């Protein structure tokens, strides 16, 4: 197979006239355009998001002056004179595009304007908040990497022993299903209130960093650990591993080579997790009263403080671009020569586990079904019990803060919670795979979309179409496809660099057959498991929007709402928090283990070349 590959690299069959100077110049210009395309994609997407945020007060149909007046003095009469004075003071008479241009021109001179609420300069405060968030992100990333290493050690051990069967991923799924705000509250109660080991609130010395970093890092580590474990399992199933074992290579060298083999396709996910830690730490920052960028941006969005909101989102987007670019650069350094030479190893689907592969999903499904069926005949809205009544035979899971049956609310909330989450995950899976098939063109939208927390997207959608359940699904979908698209793009790039794919144009394989025969089978399986791993996070994001008044509202029995409503009573009535959290964990384990044990690997096997 080496001769056709070398011919393909020196004289591509699709460019028979490349020896002529004109054709060589066209090929060089085309290559330069392909390299420039990701940068243009990032710039265009960044400009589009900034313009959308700048025009939000006018697109929502609400008067910005009225919102500002109510934020400054809620009891003041909104007279025409008061509103006119605010418009004149803040330049709202300019119009939306003129005001946006004025803000951008000031930004060139490092002047982001003054806050519409406090009247102080915006940029110094946002830069200070971003330093806090970056410090928290770095500490949380360290926790996530330690968790990832611990989750991958069993996979490394089995791979070096010649056992490459995938696992159910229950532990990684359970960590991923733990909500950050629930972890933050639990850590706060246990280590700050009960044990008095660490400070509960504020931001000062290194002791204030430990609890929020753990609360942020554990879910991220669970996600990365599950993804890396899957990738390592596939790497150890490739043919070169057997060859290296026969050749007598040391186990340490084989392990390092397997890690290097998995890193290129997953480095974009590491970058996206880092960006998500920076922009998605709003709940943790609020629980621990941390003056970070996410909390400041959410406060600016709620108060309709346009200069602060624009500056906060712009800083988040810059961080996303820098981190995404760094991850892509590391990926290019690791895979560059192999990719250019068309020598990327061919992925081989690892063997399925045996009959016991259905044990974990069966146990998770049985436990979840037991919780749901047991409460279907109970009233989820009636306040017929005492506040925080403990569990008993008549009330198996106790009552919440206003005397409602927790078992009934968890049971009746299953359909809406899992239904909305499955709908959002299904849409994001299709969007992620479709957009990820265009790696260069999608670079900007992927990185910048991931920098936008669901809460910010929910505020934008609610401002345009009002709060609703459908609006919450739209908001979460708008920002949740980016990690799946990044994963797809990385797998597509590696697949196109494999020898048997590089020579397909010489064999007369068209683009449609290349897509259906090689690209889609190589990406659908891993990306689908990735999507299932994000199912509980999607459910939590939907419920968080509902709790903030941007989606489903109380007294709807969504699981995330149950957690948020019961969180203040965690110390007095832990059962009110642990049962909805257990339901989310069971849902995550069920989704991930089913995707591992199902029939997707059989379809992925089509990506491997047929034996000669």
Q: Per-residue pLDDT tens for 236-273?
A: 887 888 888 888 888 888 888 888 888 877 777 777 67
Across-strand partners of 49? Answer: none
When mean pLDDT is compared across 6-20, 24-38, 322-336, the lowest value belongs to 6-20
- pLDDT at res. 146: 92
Q: Does residue 588 have a pLDDT over 70?
A: yes
**Whole-number pLDDT of residue 195:** 83
pTM above 0.75, yes or no: no
Distance CA 591, CA 532 (A): 6
Average pLDDT over residues 451-461: 73
Task: Considering only residues 547 and 478, tell me which one the structure prediction assigns the higher pLDDT.
Answer: 478
- Partnered with residue 114 across adjacent β-strands are 121
Q: pLDDT value at position 143? A: 92
Average pLDDT over residues 284-298: 81
Residue 281: CB partners within 8 Å, gap ≥ 6?
133, 136, 137, 140, 180, 212, 216, 290, 292, 294
Residue located via tokens 């243009």: 40
Helix (H/G/I), strand (E/B), else coil: 405: strand
- DSSP-assigned states of every residue in 421-481: HHHHHHHHHHHHHHHHTSTTTTHHHHHHHHTS-HHHHHHHHHHHH-S-HHHHHHHHHHHHS
CA distance 598 to 95: 56
User: Across the chain, what does the average pLDDT equal?
Assistant: 76
Position with higher pLDDT, 383 vs 91: 383
Interval 562-567 mean pLDDT? 78
pLDDT, one tens digit per residue, over 183-195 is 887 888 888 878 8
Q: Which has the higher per-residue pLDDT, 433 or 274? A: 433
Average pLDDT over residues 595-611: 41
10 Å CB burial of residue 98 (0-12, 13-18, 19+) is: exposed
pLDDT tops 80 at residue 31: no
Local structure of 55: helix, strand or coil: helix
CA distance 338 to 496: 11
18 burial class (0-12, 13-18, 19+ CB within 10 angstroms)?
middle
Q: pLDDT at position 489, please?
A: 84
Residues 310-328 have a mean pLDDT of 76
As a whole number of angstroms, the distance between CA 104 and CA 186 comes to 43
pLDDT digits (tens, 9 = 90+) for 143-197: 988 998 888 888 888 888 877 655 556 677 677 767 677 788 788 888 887 888 8
In the prediction, which pLDDT does 428 show? 92
Question: Sign of the C-alpha dihedral, residues 182, 183, 184, 190?
Answer: positive
Q: pLDDT at position 467, please?
A: 72
Considering only CA atoms, which of 293, 269, 274, 272 is closest in space to residue 282?
293
Q: Which of 4-8, 274-278, 510-514 has the weakest average pLDDT?
A: 4-8
The residues with which 81 forms a beta bridge, in sequence order, are none
Has residue 427 got a pLDDT over 90? yes
Give residue 168's pLDDT.
52
CA distances from 160 to 14, 235, 352 (A): 42, 11, 17
- pLDDT value, residue 603: 34
Asked if 290 contacts 284 with a C-beta cutoff of 8 angstroms, the reply is yes
Residue 14 has pLDDT above 50, yes or no: no
pLDDT over threshold 50, residue 7: no
> Which of 50, 65, 43 lies closest to 107, judged by CA?
50
For the stretch 206-225, pLDDT in tens is 888 899 999 888 888 888 88
Mean pLDDT of 400-427: 88
Q: 65: which residues sit within 8 A by CB, 6+ positions away?
A: 83, 84, 86, 87, 90, 92
Tell me which of 301 and 478 has the higher pLDDT. 478
Q: Is the dihedral of CA 118, 122, 126, 128 positive or negative?
A: negative
Q: What is the pLDDT of residue 429?
A: 92
Residues paired with 405 in a beta bridge: 399
Q: Is 67 helix (H, G, I), strand (E, B) or coil?
A: helix
Structure tokens at 532: 């299932």
> Which of the four pLDDT bands, split at 50, 70 and 90, describes residue 75?
low
Please tell me which residue, 354 or 112, carries the higher pLDDT value. Answer: 112
pLDDT higher than 70, residue 33: no
Name the more confident of 65 and 487. 487
Residues 6+ apart with CB under 8 A from 512: none
């Amino acid at each position: 197979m080496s001769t056709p590959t070398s011919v393909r690299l020196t004289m591509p069959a699709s460019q028979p006239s490349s020896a002529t100077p004109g054709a060589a110049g066209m090929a060089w210009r085309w290559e330069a355009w392909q390299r420039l395309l990701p940068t243009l994609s990032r710039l265009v997407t960044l400009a589009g998001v900034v313009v959308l945020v700048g025009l939000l007060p006018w697109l929502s149909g609400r008067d910005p002056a009225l919102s500002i007046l109510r934020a400054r003095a809620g009891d003041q009469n909104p007279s025409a004179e008061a509103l006119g004075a605010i418009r004149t003071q803040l330049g709202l008479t300019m119009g939306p595009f003129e005001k946006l241009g004025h803000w951008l021109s000031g930004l060139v001179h490092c002047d982001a304007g003054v806050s519409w609420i406090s009247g102080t300069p915006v940029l110094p405060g946002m830069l200070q908040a971003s330093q806090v968030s970056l410090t928290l992100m770095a500490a949380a990333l360290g926790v996530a990497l330690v968790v990832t290493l611990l989750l991958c050690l069993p996979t490394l051990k089995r791979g070096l022993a010649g056992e490459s069967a995938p696992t159910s991923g229950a532990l990684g799924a359970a960590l991923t299903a733990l909500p950050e705000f629930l972890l933050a509250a639990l850590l706060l109660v246990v280590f700050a209130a009960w044990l008095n080991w660490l400070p509960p609130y504020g931001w000062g010395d290194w002791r204030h960093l430990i609890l929020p970093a753990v609360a942020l890092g554990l879910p991220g580590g669970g996600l990365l650990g599950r993804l890396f474990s899957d990738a390592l399992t596939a790497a150890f199933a490739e043919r070169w591993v057997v060859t290296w074992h026969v050749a007598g290579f040391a186990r340490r060298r084989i392990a390092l080579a397997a890690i290097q083999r998995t890193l290129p396709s997953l480095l974009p996910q590491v970058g996206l997790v880092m960006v998500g830690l920076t922009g998605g730490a709003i709940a943790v920052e609020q629980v621990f009263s941390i003056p970070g960028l996410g909390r400041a941006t959410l406060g600016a969005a709620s108060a309709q403080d346009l200069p602060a909101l624009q500056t906060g989102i712009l800083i988040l987007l810059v961080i996303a671009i820098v981190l995404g670019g760094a991850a892509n650069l590391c990926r290019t350094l690791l895979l560059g020569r192999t990719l250019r030479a068309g020598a990327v190893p061919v992925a081989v689907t690892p063997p399925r586990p045996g009959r016991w592969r259905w044990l974990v999903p069966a146990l998770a499904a049985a436990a979840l079904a037991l919780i749901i069926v047991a409460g279907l005949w109970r009233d989820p809205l009636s306040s017929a019990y005492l506040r925080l009544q403990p569990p008993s035979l008549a009330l198996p899971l106790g009552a919440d803060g206003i005397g409602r049956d927790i078992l009934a609310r968890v049971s009746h909330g299953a359909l809406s919670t899992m239904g909305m989450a499955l709908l959002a995950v299904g849409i994001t899976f299709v969007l992620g795979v479709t957009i990820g098939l265009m790696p260069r063109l999608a670079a900007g939208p992927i990185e910048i979309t991931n920098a936008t927390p669901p809460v910010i997207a929910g505020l934008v959608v609610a401002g345009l179409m009002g709060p609703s359940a459908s609006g919450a699904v739209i908001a979460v979908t708008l920002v949740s496809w980016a990690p799946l698209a990044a994963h797809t793009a990385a797998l597509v790039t590696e697949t196109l660099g494999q020898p048997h794919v590089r020579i397909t144009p010489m064999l007369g394989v068209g683009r449609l057959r290349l897509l259906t025969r090689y690209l889609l089978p190589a990406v659908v399986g891993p990306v689908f498991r990735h999507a299932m791993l994000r199912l509980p996070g999607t459910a939590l994001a939907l419920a968080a929007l509902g709790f903030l008044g941007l989606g489903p509202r109380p007294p709807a029995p969504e699981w995330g709402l149950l957690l948020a409503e019961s969180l203040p009573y965690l110390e007095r009535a832990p059962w009110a928090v642990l049962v909805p959290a257990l339901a989310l964990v069971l849902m995550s384990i069920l989704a991930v283990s089913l995707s591992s044990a199902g029939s997707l690997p059989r379809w992925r096997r089509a990506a491997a070349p047929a034996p000669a």
